[in-house]
Structure 1
Amino acid sequence: MEPRGTELVNLYKRNYNIPADVEVTEAMILQHWNLEKKLTKELWESTPENRWEVFEQAYTLLYSEIEWLNKLPGDTRSPSERYQTWVATIGSKPKKIYEIGSGKGEMISYLSQCEFECKGTEVTRERGEKHIKESSSYLSWGNTDGVNLEQFEPANYYDVVLSNQVIEHFHPDDLQTHFQSAYSILNENGRYIFSTPHCHTGPHDVSFVFKYDDSKGMHLKEYTYHELIEPLTLAGFKSVSCAVPFAINKLLVKLGIKKPEQLTKIGIFYFNFMLIVERILFLIPSKKVRRPLARFLRKLYIFADNIFLIAQK
């Protein structure tokens, strides 16, 4: 039974980090839900030949009709708080950074303010550059399909490629091509740093609001750590590690552990530890039981349900 009324509104606000005092109605949520289900069907039925066109049209329609998704306040923390793990993982300047699926451009704009040479991209012009209030000489913009990156950018050029909550939106058939393309535009020591929600605590799209165990919306696939190893390896990346959570990173620095090679080793250890915990969680057949346990382990830093990986070229 799908929730309605106050329960539905509270679940929606929780899922999208909307403050309690911001007005959201049941009618708004149902409009979002019905449109997203329709668009999701179109995304699944797209072919490699028409996929960019279908995805661009779908996301343009979503963000133009459900315009509050662009306007509602989300995370109220300062950019320095929100992106501290990203900055710590990226490392020192100078670096050329390319972001896939920049959303409202908050992270790539902040990184440009940190004086990294940045390029933000989006599949639709309803997102990205139009939301940036202040221009920066360190930031440029482009529209791409997010998958065939080598068609838009030079090979062996960027130090870092980023995506934050993006690959779950791709058609699963495009994931391998996406990783290979990210690899191709990175320079010889480049890294693809990305985050994506873990399926054990999902769904993380609007499906959660309606109490489904699996995504029925525009998160076409939410992944596990194990599912990402093979396509990253096949793409050519020589190692995969986890980004060390900022709280742990601060502790390591206090202990004198701050050299990049030291943090990489810890990140590889953390990644392998996540693989072990993930296998244990898979022993629980019911997702209704697995989900709260995974969330509890997240609070203890024993499990990271926001998959945050560094793929090294």
Structure 2
Amino acid sequence: MPVTVTETRTLEQLRQHYEVERELADRLRHATKEQRRTLYSEVYDELFKRVPLHPQHTNKSSPDRLAADVAEKMEILAPFLNANSVFLEVGPGDCEFAKTVAEKVARVLAIDVSDEITRKRELPANLQLVISDGSSIPVPPDSVNVAYSNQLMEHLHPDDALDQLRGLHAALKPGGVYICITPSRLTGPHDISCVFDREATGFHLKEYTVGDLAALFRQVGFNKLRIIFGGRGKFVLLPTWTALIWEKLLDFLPHSLRKAIALKPPFRWLFGVRLAGFKD
């Protein structure tokens, strides 16, 4: 949950969110794998209850901001979808984006660890909410054309990231694609701790670079990888080496200078981690 220029909460309200999230994140960081099977759901349910001004709650009162966010996501995803697609989103949050995709495809599977946000929302008939333990992908193998996550990978315990990637690879049909969008470690932290810390200490349990994530994708069987480069409705697929070279150079710079460069276009279109993995 990056803090942006649209943030309207007071410093005291941000600190309350930070303290709750850091407390809950530490539970996850120190939990065993077996404990994490139920803990993801528990800590996120608790976060949304204890932080009433969390953006997941307040964004619904900002329709213009919500519409702009959905439109930006659709610009990236639309070329991969058609009317016959089975679409899977991991970490759908309020399901607003999944609902928009449902208008354009045959079926949508929305996988999350909590139904706290969606409990009082109406979902279309072709959208199914599936509750997961945080790392498994409980859908039939070879059943999905396009899998997608946005601001999700960084919320996983590092030990669970590979399990989820294996599950996503198994869920995809041959020729299917998993599009993973996650904030770059080089410009972080991007969770609530960015107000108070220099490294992620909230629910961003690990932030990644393109290089970090590409290595994990290859480990589970994604042999064809591309970065999605571009903005303002114009995107192209580029080989990952175009980002890896610049990431290595950027990593040598002081933190403040690195962020100043990498967060401005066209650099942010290269350093923001938007990775597409295609299943053979």
TM-score (norm 1): 0.80
Q: What is the aligned partner in structure 1 of residue 119 from structure 2?
A: 130
Q: What is the aligned partner in structure 2 of residue 26 from structure 1?
A: 11
Q: Which runs of 5+ in 2 are unaligned?
A: none
How far does residue 80 in structure 1 lie from its aligned partner after superposition?
5.5
How far does residue 66 in structure 1 lie from its aligned partner after superposition?
0.6
- Taking a change above 3 Å as real, the CA distance of residues 244 and 117 of structure 1, as seen in their structure-2 partners, is farther
Higher Cα radius of gyration:
1
- Taking a change above 3 Å as real, the CA distance of residues 290 and 80 of structure 1, as seen in their structure-2 partners, is closer
Q: What is the aligned partner in structure 2 of residue 256 from structure 1?
A: none
- Retained in 1: the 8 A contact 2:86–2:105? no
Q: What is the aligned partner in structure 1 of residue 277 from structure 2?
A: 311
Q: Is residue 249 of structure 2 the alignment partner of residue 289 of structure 1?
A: no
The structure with more strand, counted as a fraction of residues? 2
- Retained in 1: the 8 A contact 2:261–2:267? no
1:157-187 per-residue CA deviation (whole Å, 9 max, x = no partner) reads: 1111111110100001111111111101111
- Residue 280 (structure 1) aligned to one of 249, 274, 278: 249
Taking the aligned partners of 1:65 and 1:280, their CA distance within structure 2 comes to 41
- Report matched runs for 1:191-202 at 5 Å: 191-202=177-188
Taking the aligned partners of 1:226 and 1:312, their CA distance within structure 2 comes to 17
The structure with more helix, counted as a fraction of residues? 1
- Report matched runs for 1:1-313 at 5 Å: 15-16=3-4, 18=6, 24-69=9-54, 70-73=56-59, 75-78=65-68, 81-127=71-117, 129-130=118-119, 132=121, 134-149=122-137, 152-210=138-196, 212-247=197-232, 249=234, 266-269=236-239, 271-284=240-253, 286-296=254-264, 299-301=265-267, 303-313=269-279
- Taking a change above 3 Å as real, the CA distance of residues 80 and 289 of structure 1, as seen in their structure-2 partners, is closer
Q: Secondary structure at the match of 1:304?
A: helix
1:23-82 per-residue CA deviation (whole Å, 9 max, x = no partner) reads: x33332221111111111111011111112122111110011112213223634446622
- Retained in 2: the 8 A contact 1:147–1:174? yes
- Retained in 2: the 8 A contact 1:203–1:214? yes
Taking the aligned partners of 2:105 and 2:42, their CA distance within structure 1 comes to 33
Q: Secondary structure at the match of 2:214?
A: helix
Q: Which amino acid aligns with 1:272?
A: W
Taking the aligned partners of 1:17 and 1:118, their CA distance within structure 2 comes to 32
Structural RMSD (CA): 2.2
- Retained in 2: the 8 A contact 1:125–1:143? yes
Q: Secondary structure at the match of 1:140?
A: strand
Q: Which amino acid aligns with 1:267?
A: L
Taking the aligned partners of 2:272 and 2:106, their CA distance within structure 1 comes to 25
Q: Which amino acid aligns with 2:163?
A: T
How far does residue 248 in structure 1 lie from its aligned partner after superposition?
6.4
Q: Secondary structure at the match of 2:16?
A: helix
Q: Which amino acid aligns with 1:179?
A: L
Q: Which runs of 5+ in 1 are unaligned?
A: 1-11, 251-265
How far does residue 245 in structure 1 lie from its aligned partner after superposition?
2.8
- Taking a change above 3 Å as real, the CA distance of residues 25 and 268 of structure 1, as seen in their structure-2 partners, is closer
Equivalent residues, number: 274
- Retained in 1: the 8 A contact 2:169–2:221? yes
Q: Which amino acid aligns with 2:6?
A: I
Taking the aligned partners of 1:230 and 1:78, their CA distance within structure 2 comes to 32
How far does residue 123 in structure 1 lie from its aligned partner after superposition?
0.4
- Retained in 2: the 8 A contact 1:153–1:185? yes
